[in-house]
Amino acid sequence: MDEETLKQILLKENRAFRKAFGDHRSCELELERLRLKPRLSEAEALAERDLKKRKLVLKDRMYRIMQEHGNTR
């Protein structure tokens, strides 16, 4: 099964994956909003850094769930 198919299955069947996916998407949208600004304030630059870290943690969580799902089938 390819990665995209697995993601679609998990979005339907796994609440933890769905939550991580939604949070990851929210981080991405906020980062995109910050990228559109010509200059970031110090607070925005810190928020950007934190969002990038959170997004990475969420991505790791999603891939762990994908791996676990693959190991149980």
Q: Residue 28 to residues 11, 47, 48, 69: CA-CA distances in angstroms?
A: 18, 12, 10, 25
pLDDT tens readout for residues 18-32: 999 999 999 999 999
Let me know: does 67 contact 1? Beta carbons within 8 Å.
no
Residues of the domain holding 56: 3-72
The total of structural domains in the chain comes to 1
Instruction: Specify the length of the chain in residues.
Output: 73
pTM of the model: 0.88
17 burial (CB, 10 Å; 0-12 / 13-18 / 19+) is buried
Structure confidence at residue 73 as a pLDDT band (50, 70, 90) = low
Q: Residue 42 to residues 37, 45, 47, 49, 57: CA-CA distances in angstroms?
A: 13, 5, 9, 11, 23
